[in-house]
Amino acid sequence: MSDGPAPAAQSRGLFQRFLNLIEWAGNALPNPATLFALLALAVVVLSGIFHAFGVQVTNPATGQTVEAISLLSIAGLHRMLMGAITNFTGFAPIGTVLVAILGIAVAESSGLISACLRLTLKAAPPRALTAVVVFAGVMSNIGADVGYVLLIPLAGTLFAAVGRNPLAGIAAAFAGVSGGFSANLLPGTLDVLLGGITQESARLLVPEYTVLPTANYYFMLAATIVITAAGTWVTERIVEPRLGRGDGTGTDGAHMPPLTAPEHRGLRWAGVAALMVTAVVVWGVLDAGALPGSGFLLDPADPAFNKSVFMRGVVIFICLGGVGLGIVYGIAAGTVRSDNDVVRGMSKSMETMGSYLVLMFFCSQFVSYFGWTNLGTITAVKGAELLRASGLGAAPLTVSVILFTAFINLFIGSASAKWTLLGPVLVPMFMLLGYSPEFVQAAYRVGDSCTNIVTPLMPYFPLVLVYAQKYAPRTGIGTLISIMTPYSIVFMVLWSALLLLWIVASLPLGPGAPMFLNL
């Protein structure tokens, strides 16, 4: 006689019901564009209330008083009316996405991406596809926003090509790109930005303290392995079983139709062009004195690779690369016969971006209002003060910092902006407890990454929603949040455990970056 479901099965059932509840609640929300419009309205009303009550904080980074500024006034009305257009046209994600997609569209319409995918599927072990997608997402962060505009839609196409659910591919890539934002095998721009803020915060106590860009390198290297493994497990054990394995219309590398002779010819010529472009870029970012003209893509004022013109303009390189390689492939394969074919491919891709632009108009207004009113700054500073006054021990306080940062990340997307506010409070506080500034920065980065994928206020969240709606038109905010919630939970638990393990083992966080500090 059966005693009922096993505990593990009961736990899975409860968790699935929890995800279903999140999906139901999220999808009960209005259309994303309407939601952002309502949030913008809420900010206007709250700014008036907070201003009336004289809510203010002291910015720990500058020592200046920050007051709630009301938009519920004649001056506020004028600012909203006069700033609406520039809020939209100056919203960074719009230009990044549209410019990159122009290049990708040519590569796609010419058949280059399709041919590359089929060639990749022929060579790659099918069982490793999920891990490759998650790992590529983590590593894509060194190239600014390339993961959002290139890898995430590509992952959906890859999964669909092998008969797996494309939403699972999009989720796996999104988890790596955004949930694993702070992990990487190579130091990137974020390491430089956060390191500078941490150094200035540490110098409030120790004026000569120096924080290197590699301050968290050892820890983030280990985190890359953990995030890749965790993202793969969540995709294959939780997300994909819940979504279903796909419609089965895809194929695998063994049964895929072979590439035609024109396609092989196109790939060969595109490969030659890619090598030539790579050689030019390498020549431009290497400062070799014996090689005339080398380093032309470096900034003379700061010749570091992370600050190079190539890294800062990587989206333009994606666009130009997609256009150039797509044209070369198309001419060789016979799919591009005139400039009309190129422009037609670009135009077709822009047709699919209408809903994204509508979303971005209302999102840009909300983000601008939030900044104008200082509500984000007030929330962050008040929360940090509450942590400092809690009286918790070092380990619970570390977990509290991670959780608090994760919560604040739901409202303020920029990692450097949040750290500018929190660093001057948290870094000196932990230094007095005997922990190094590099350790506090690592704890902050854990919390900052894990909730990127579950907040609709993250600028690229609407874009990922558009990607998902390509395969499942009825996908709503709640659906996407419910898909990504398991990643967020697992990443938070394992990444926090990794940091606590670092504390117990007293391991260095990076070159010359100890765990503990003796003042």
For 101-117, the pLDDT digits (tens) are 888 889 888 988 778 76
Q: Exposure of 110 by Cβ count < 10 A (0-12 exposed, 13-18 middle, 19+ buried)?
A: buried
Residue 236 near residue 214 (C-beta atoms within 8 A):
no
Q: What confidence tens digit (pLDDT) does each residue in 121-160 have?
A: 667 677 888 998 898 888 877 655 667 877 888 888 888 8
Cα separation, 445 vs 164, in Å, equals: 32
Cα distances (Å, whole numbers) of residue 127 to 152, 162, 365: 19, 11, 44
Measured between its terminal Cα atoms, the distance across the chain in Å is 66
Mean pLDDT of the chain: 82
Token pair 């690779």 is at which residue? 305
475 in helix, strand or coil?
coil
Cα separation, 142 vs 146, in Å, equals: 9
Q: Which of 167-171, 183-187, 256-260, 366-370 has the highest mean pLDDT?
A: 167-171
Amino acid at 106: V
Please tell me the predicted confidence (pLDDT) of residue 290: 52
Please tell me the predicted confidence (pLDDT) of residue 166: 93
Give the number of C-alpha atoms closer than 13 A to the C-alpha of residue 359, restricted to the C-beta side: 23
Burial annotation 410-423 (CB, 10 A radius, 16+ → b, else e) = eebbebebbbbbbb
Please tell me the predicted confidence (pLDDT) of residue 1: 43
Please tell me the predicted confidence (pLDDT) of residue 456: 78
Residues in contact with 275: Cβ distance below 8 Å, sequence separation at least 6, in sequence order: none
Cα separation, 279 vs 296, in Å, equals: 13
Sign of CA dihedral 334, 340, 342, 346: negative
Reported as a pLDDT band with limits 50, 70 and 90, residue 26 is: low
User: Average of pLDDT values for 6-35?
Assistant: 66
User: Average of pLDDT values for 448-453?
Assistant: 87
13 in helix, strand or coil?
helix
Residue 253 near residue 122 (C-beta atoms within 8 A):
yes
Residue 32 near residue 358 (C-beta atoms within 8 A):
no
Q: Is the pTM of this model over 0.85?
A: no
Reported as a pLDDT band with limits 50, 70 and 90, residue 253 is: very low
Helix 314-333 × helix 92-109 angle, to 10° = 10
Reported as a pLDDT band with limits 50, 70 and 90, residue 390 is: confident
Higher pLDDT, 9 or 306: 306
Residues in contact with 319: Cβ distance below 8 Å, sequence separation at least 6, in sequence order: 99, 100, 102, 103, 104
Q: Is it the case that residue 38 has pLDDT exceeding 70?
A: yes
Please tell me the predicted confidence (pLDDT) of residue 292: 57
Reported as a pLDDT band with limits 50, 70 and 90, residue 387 is: low
Please tell me the predicted confidence (pLDDT) of residue 124: 66
Q: Is it the case that residue 254 has pLDDT exceeding 50?
A: no
Cα distances (Å, whole numbers) of residue 505 to 67, 294, 400, 499, 509: 43, 45, 20, 10, 11
Q: What confidence tens digit (pLDDT) does each residue in 355-364 have?
A: 778 878 987 8
Q: Is it the case that residue 206 has pLDDT exceeding 90?
A: no
Instruction: Specify the long-range contacts of residues 189-192, CB closer than 8 Å, at least 24 apart.
Output: 189/142, 189/144, 189/306, 189/311, 190/141, 190/415, 190/416, 191/215, 191/216, 191/217, 191/306, 192/304, 192/306, 192/307
Reported as a pLDDT band with limits 50, 70 and 90, residue 232 is: very high
Angle at 329 (CA atoms; ends 328, 333), nearest 5 degrees = 120
Reported as a pLDDT band with limits 50, 70 and 90, residue 255 is: very low
Cα separation, 476 vs 30, in Å, equals: 9
Give the total residue count for the chain: 519
Please tell me the predicted confidence (pLDDT) of residue 137: 85
Please tell me the predicted confidence (pLDDT) of residue 498: 94
Q: Is it the case that residue 5 has pLDDT exceeding 60?
A: no
Residue 150 near residue 466 (C-beta atoms within 8 A):
no
Lowest pLDDT segment from 250-259, 265-274, 473-482, 506-515 = 250-259
pLDDT above 90 as % of the chain: 28
Token pair 């632009």 is at which residue? 357
Please tell me the predicted confidence (pLDDT) of residue 438: 92
| Other Cβ atoms within 10 Å of 12 Cβ, number | 15
Q: What confidence tens digit (pLDDT) does each residue in 406-436 have?
A: 888 877 666 766 787 677 777 877 777 778 9
138 in helix, strand or coil?
helix
Token pair 């809420």 is at which residue? 42
